[in-house]
Amino acid sequence: MKHIDNNGRRSRAVVANGAVYLGGQVANDWDGDITAQTRETLARIDAVLKEAGSSRNKLVQATIWLKTMDDYDAMNAVWDAWIDKERAPARMCGVTEMADERIRIEIIGIATC
């Protein structure tokens, strides 16, 4: 197993048995709108997947948590431009209370190596 960006409480990702398990990814700039936060979150996913020896085209599953469904359409506009439509992962999207009220989106995923 390989732990990526482990701080003793959590890892950004864990590589095990040919799969990459992403922890919840959020933007660094929590003051941005949903478009900015989604772009930054997806860029972080790209970086973590690259470090793990994978890529967005190998995403098997994605769970997207939004602070409010009011952000759904704007988030999807960014997601649709980012994801390979021929290799779209299984995906769900829901609403949850975030760890900080400024966070608008968090994405969890599983990819192959």
Task: For residue 100, give both structure tokens.
Answer: 């900080």
- Single-letter amino acid, residue 45: I
* 47: CB partners within 8 A, 6+ apart: none
CATH number at residue 81: 3.30.1330.40
What does each of the 113 residues of the chain score in pLDDT, given as a tens digit?
Answer: 999 999 999 999 999 999 999 999 999 999 999 999 999 999 999 999 999 999 999 999 999 999 999 999 999 999 999 999 999 999 999 999 999 999 999 999 999 99
> What are the b/e assignments for 71-93, b being 16+ CB within 10 Å?
beebbeebbeeebeeeeebeeeb
Residue 27 is predicted with a pLDDT of 97
Residue 10 is predicted with a pLDDT of 93
| Number of structural domains found in the chain | 1
CA distance 46 to 56: 6
Residue 16 is predicted with a pLDDT of 97
Quote the pTM value.
0.95
Range of the domain at 49: 2-112
